[in-house]
């Protein structure tokens, strides 16, 4: 028998149900649009297949975001923002062919996904009901006299602003945004450009090192260490200094736009989030 208190606890606001439905539609739309783009593309080569596969993985990101929203996790907002922004860039870079104009189905699909992603961001940041719902923290393992269990506890670190969380999530995209074009450039090695092997290997290694560097920076960033913000800015510019020239050299101007553009967008979002967080800290009362 379910009590009234339990029923009240399970029932979620209508905005939460609307957002989960919208996210499910966006995930399905991502799959459909990417497959249409691949079908209508004049050149269905290795590079397009890699970029399409990476874009399709974003549908899983939307499903993961649904879980965060349903559980009321605070990370849902920054995760949804960076997922929406990078999805728009990922789809936009695929609908533009090397020559000519994009096909009409691709343009319509891009417009549809852009509208859906904008609606997701608007609900996450403008809905008062969602603002009151997304307040829970990740459950942690607790060991005490009552045994071992998973329990939701506030983080031990000081409370951080939403902008710091946004910068953290955006910075975590650096590594995959470097590894995807590195994998595309690996196709050039298979086509006989053996001189590019050292550069491709360096690109892969830089992408992996970047993931650990970002993890190190953000671990101290959320603990209120101001030097970690400066270090993350240095890592951001170092990533751009490595990735953009390699995109231009190994993939040409087309690769610089398609693969460098999303990384620049993530870097700008990270830097802006750090700037806003710094301003908020300076304006906070002592």
Say which range, 29-38, 49-58, 216-225, has the weakest mean pLDDT.
49-58
Dihedrals φ, ψ of 136, to 5°? Answer: -90, 155
pLDDT at 76 over 70: yes
The residue ranges of DSSP E strands in 155-264, in sequence order, are: none
Band (89; pLDDT cuts 50, 70, 90): confident
> Who has greater pLDDT, 216 or 157?
216
Question: 37 burial class (0-12, 13-18, 19+ CB within 10 angstroms)?
Answer: buried
Question: What integer is the mean pLDDT of 180-206?
Answer: 80
Evaluated on CA atoms 30, 34, 35, 40, the torsion sign reads: positive
Residue 39 confidence class, pLDDT cut points 50, 70, 90:
confident
CB atoms within 10 A of CB 82: 23
Length of the chain measured in residues: 286
Per-residue pLDDT band for 120 (boundaries 50, 70, 90) equals very high
Q: How many CB atoms lie within 10 A of CB 282?
A: 7
Task: Assess whether pLDDT exceeds 80 at residue 192.
Answer: no
Q: What does the pLDDT look like over 97-116, one tens digit per residue?
A: 666 566 677 788 888 889 99
Overall average pLDDT of the 149-158 stretch: 57
CA distance 195 to 200: 10
Share of the chain above pLDDT 90, in %: 23
How far is 99 from 75, CA to CA, in rounded Å? 40
159 conformational bin, left if phi > 0, alpha if psi -120 to 50, beta if neither: beta
- Give the least confident one: 90-94, 102-106, 190-194, 277-281: 190-194
Query: How high does pLDDT run on average in the chain?
Result: 80
Longest dimension (CA), the chain: 71
Reduce the secondary structure of the chain to three states and give it as a string.
Answer: CCCHHHHHHHCCCHHHHHHHHHHHHHHHHHHHHHHHHHHHCCCCCHHHHHHHHHHHHHHHHHHHHHHHHHHCECCHHHHHHHHHHHHHHHHHHHHCCCCCCCCHHHHHHHHHHHHHHHHHHHHHHHCHHHHHHCCECCEEEEEECCEEEEEECCCCCCCCCHHHHHHHHHHCCHHHHHHHHHHHHHHHHHCCCHHHHHHHHHHHHHHHHHHHHHHHHHHHHCCCCHHHHHHHHHHHHHHHHHHHHHHHHHHHHHHHHHHHHHHHHHHHHHHHHHHHHHHHHHHCCC
Local confidence band at 92 (pLDDT 50, 70, 90 cut-offs): confident
- 143, pLDDT greater than 70: no
Q: Which helix (H) or strand (E) holds 149?
A: strand 147-152
Confidence of residue 31 (pLDDT cuts 50, 70, 90): confident
Is the pLDDT reported for residue 285 higher than 70? Answer: no
Are 150 and 140 contacting, i.e. CB atoms less than 8 angstroms apart?
Answer: yes
Whether the CB-CB separation of 89 and 265 falls below 8 Å is answered with: yes
CA 87 to centroid of chain Cα atoms = 8
**What are the tens digits of pLDDT across the range 233-251?**
999 999 999 999 999 888 8
pLDDT for residue 32 is more than 50: yes
pLDDT band at 141 (very low <50, low <70, confident <90, very high): low
With a threshold of 0.85, does the pTM exceed it? no
């Amino acid at each position: 028998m379910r009590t009234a208190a339990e029923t009240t606890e399970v029932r979620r606001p209508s905005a939460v149900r609307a957002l989960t439905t919208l996210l499910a539609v966006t995930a399905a739309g991502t799959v459909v649009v990417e497959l249409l783009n691949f079908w209508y593309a004049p050149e269905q080569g290795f590079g397009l297949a890699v970029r399409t596969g990476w874009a399709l993985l974003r549908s899983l990101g939307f499903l993961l975001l649904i879980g965060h929203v349903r559980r009321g996790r605070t990370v849902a907002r920054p995760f949804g923002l960076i997922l929406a922004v990078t999805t728009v860039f990922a789809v936009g870079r695929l609908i533009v062919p090397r020559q000519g104009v994009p096909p009409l189905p691709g343009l319509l699909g891009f417009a549809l996904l852009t509208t859906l992603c904008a609606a997701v961001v608007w609900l996450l940041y403008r809905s008062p009901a969602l603002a009151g719902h997304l307040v829970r923290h990740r459950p942690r393992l607790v060991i005490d006299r009552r045994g071992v269990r998973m329990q939701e506890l506030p983080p031990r670190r000081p409370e951080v602003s939403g902008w710091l969380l946004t910068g953290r999530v955006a910075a975590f995209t650096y590594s995959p945004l470097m590894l995807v074009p590195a994998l595309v450039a690996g196709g050039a090695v298979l086509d006989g450009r053996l001189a590019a092997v050292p550069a491709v290997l360096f690109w892969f290694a830089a992408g992996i090192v970047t993931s650990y560097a970002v993890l190190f920076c953000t671990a101290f960033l959320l603990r209120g260490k101001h030097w970690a913000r400066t270090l993350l800015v240095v890592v951001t510019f170092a990533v751009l200094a490595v990735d953009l020239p390699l995109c231009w050299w190994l993939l040409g101007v087309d690769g610089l736009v398609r693969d460098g553009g999303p990384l620049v967008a993530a870097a700008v979002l990270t830097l802006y989030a750090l700037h806003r967080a710094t301003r908020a800290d300076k304006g906070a009362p002592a």
